[in-house]
């Protein structure tokens, strides 16, 4: 069975659902498989977790859009650094 690999973009889009434990089992499996091979996304997930903790353990849905954008920008910067060398 050929499985479509999850991209970093897909993972970022699913991250709030993942943290809310709202992903279907198959999506969750692909999500975790991508995490296992992509250090950048693993770091991003940790940052999201920390952010949620700082914001007071509310649902991921309640993260202000600006915070999500900042994290996403930081994450992209991280990847670009890696790619340019």
Query: CB-based contacts of 62: which residues, under 8 Å, 6+ apart?
Result: 55
Stretch that binds Zn ion, among 2-10, 18-26, 61-69, 72-80 (CB under 5 A): 2-10
Query: Which residues 39-58 are close enough to bind Zn ion by CB under 5 A?
Result: 41
CA distance 18 to 35: 12
Tell me whether residue 7 or residue 62 sits nearer to Zn ion (CB atom).
Answer: 7
Residue 1 DSSP SS3: coil
Cα four-point dihedral sign 67, 23, 20, 53: negative
Q: Find the shortest distance in angstroms from Cβ 56 to Zn ion.
A: 28
- The yes or no reply on residue 8 touching Zn ion (CB under 5 A) is yes
Binding site for Zn ion (CB under 5 A): 8, 38, 41
């Amino acid at each position: 069975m050929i499985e479509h690999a999850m991209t970093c973009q897909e993972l970022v889009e699913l991250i709030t659902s993942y943290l809310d434990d709202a992903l279907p089992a198959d999506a969750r499996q692909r999500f975790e498989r991508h995490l296992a091979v992509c250090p950048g996304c693993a770091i991003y997930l940790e940052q999201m977790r920390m952010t949620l903790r700082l914001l007071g353990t509310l649902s991921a849905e309640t993260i202000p859009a600006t915070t999500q954008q900042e994290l996403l920008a930081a994450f992209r910067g991280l990847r670009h650094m890696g790619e340019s060398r």
